[in-house]
Chain A
């Protein structure tokens, strides 16, 4: 149904979710972990909710040798294990009917032939009209060659869209080169650089919180906010991804993308509307104005042996596939400034790391203290500044710390929390980020994807942070697994008379 309510009077008042046009989704890296844990369960969830196109096909492509039947069986197991919905045979049968697989082996020409032929066949069988979405769930090194292949195969009949997983490049130069390659063959509107954090409901709720509530935006600035703390903490280690992580580290794995996107959403100006260009224009302005005052405002760390959830875990250098004297950082903390009228001199303390005390992604907005509390010092000693805490994961929601009188005859002020838990007010299950993002890409809506200039601004900052790291060799490990990072991360905040929020 493509007519609008203005053209079709019967559509007026109907809440018909737009359904993507017929298309084939090609997954490069179809035998990988991401496909099984995230992509296939997301596609199944969309199928359960009738959100996939009426005429739809999935083509898996990977180096592993598999038949169509093997592929379907493997994907079925993935859905049964990881999907958020109960398994329904009828939904699965409909989805599996359009699933095919091709092995990417030998030279690229052969790949193109086998995949190209298969796509023609699928287009005919499933009437998908030559519309192709390519999902690049492959290591960064494999992306450029596949982009060239896809460009050579670009359908003249239908449209082509590319969803590219992070990391997009490994520094500014490589990101620019990849962007240049994409620009040569594709329009920016055809490229969807995915950062799955942007698909999370709570991240999008940041926009609702700021721009749908009249009470927050007037105080969302340097006049009222003392500082901002953003934490993206993981309690897990590298989970067998040594080959990738040794090159990336925490700076490129999380800081460059998830963390900087959270900074951008927290600090951005109100967009004039919620179209992809307006939102991304505002985010890129923030990224362009970010700076860190100098090398002393960045702390890196690497975990040693320690305890997580009561169990002893190895240090990073003891993980399989990791060099025994590696200098790769598993923790980064930084003080950032946003150089604009709204945020001048307001520090954004950010940190991310692996094997920290617990899994938690939060944005804490700490407001300035009341200018003159008219209470005796002892009455207000347990009073802390107001903090608006946004829980991105887990326990999605937010809380506001306020001072309240403790019951009793005296006047003693205590800090209490007003909590909003997503799961308590809205009892529908939150969709997984990948569901939203895959659907948006099929619909051609790039609002929640990262634009070329955003990526380049992110890498420019990361390169500036990493440059001094080439010159010195840190004394790693410098924090025990299961703690909140190295002591120098505390010093970074203490030097300014502040502290990381208590967990």
Chain B
């Protein structure tokens, strides 16, 4: 069942948006370059803007239908909107901010309690503070908590990564995953940063010039030339779910194993920190440029991670060649056209994908 389905059309000066989207109960990413209409789409869904034509349903209840002249106001839509800048009320303490919307929420629909939200987002120490004295990440967590306490059926997140500096931006991810899993609230996350978005979800909608240019699983999307073209400039990324298999304390390595236990990779323990126990699941990100391809396994080399697979697709863009290699899961590898020609790589060729463990990024 769809958590939200929407058909929306709007003309704003030279820009027009014309989209049809269906989102599931999980986390869905909306990716697009700036100016692609991401924020307009969010505003239309939340009711902050009105479309020229449109139809929106959430959980099968009608929110908007311009043909029937039906347009539920923002405040009645039960959609939590977490703005890019947080927009915490500066004249209220964190606690008052959090409770702002709860007095308007139906008591029987409020399945999340104040204490639960405060603990989930780890903001108990901030309750008496003013927004002014909070860090970017703290502000964002409070803004999420405030939206949750208004008992929303859906959570919209506008660029949750971009208001934070690089070192902190991914800290928000585990909170978002926890909210979705524990509270079962569907989430739409808008971002122009593909690697960050991918570390949160692989279900994507691609938006360009106000049109949906593709949607579905990331690995299905990269097989289409048009989708690849849109995502290419934003930093393609391999995101692979792994499980911690064992900590090899003696060699300072952690062994990770993929879902069907067909592959094992080794990473430096420092990368994992101490936060992961054996059996914990985590996402590993790997840039396509950081993978090398060889035709044979190489034994006298320091690189330990060598995954065997077959090339399933080759896509040429300018002077780069993207090879999709099925090593049990899909890997995107970016090489030069010269290498591809010299090695005579084609669909079906058996290859080994090599990468240093330092090239891996771990998202807990």
Partners in one complex: no
Tell me the B residues contacting A by CB distance below 8 Å: none
